[in-house]
Amino acid sequence: MERFALTTCIRRVWIMSGWLRQEAAIAAGMLVVQRHQVELRNEEEEGLKVGQQTASSGGDVGVDSQGRLRRVRLLDDYIVPFECGL
């Protein structure tokens, strides 16, 4: 009888550990999706801010190495980020 009880106990623990693994995988997936949505929202807000700044100041817009829009100054041979003072 003890052997049966031990087997049942081990089986319950094994089933619960499977549930916990599934819950952990689902939670990790939800975190990744949430982080991606926050990044998209931040990129949209940045784009709107840059668009509003350039519209109000009449400046030119360029794209940096990460693909984000930035205000730039066009000189004769160079494109300089707007934040760089001359």
Q: Give the range among 5-9, 44-48, 64-68, 78-82 with minimum mean pLDDT.
A: 78-82
The better pLDDT of the pair 57, 70 is held by 70
Query: What's the CA gap between 71 and 50, in Å, rounded?
Result: 7
- Identify the pLDDT of residue 79: 61
Structural domains counted in the chain: 1
Within-domain flag for 68: no
Within-domain flag for 31: yes
Instruction: Compute the mean pLDDT over every residue in the chain, rounded to the nearest whole number.
Output: 78
The whole model's pTM is what?
A: 0.47
Boundaries of domain holding 47: 2-59
pLDDT tens per residue across span 17-37: 999 999 999 999 999 999 999
The number of residues making up the chain comes to 86
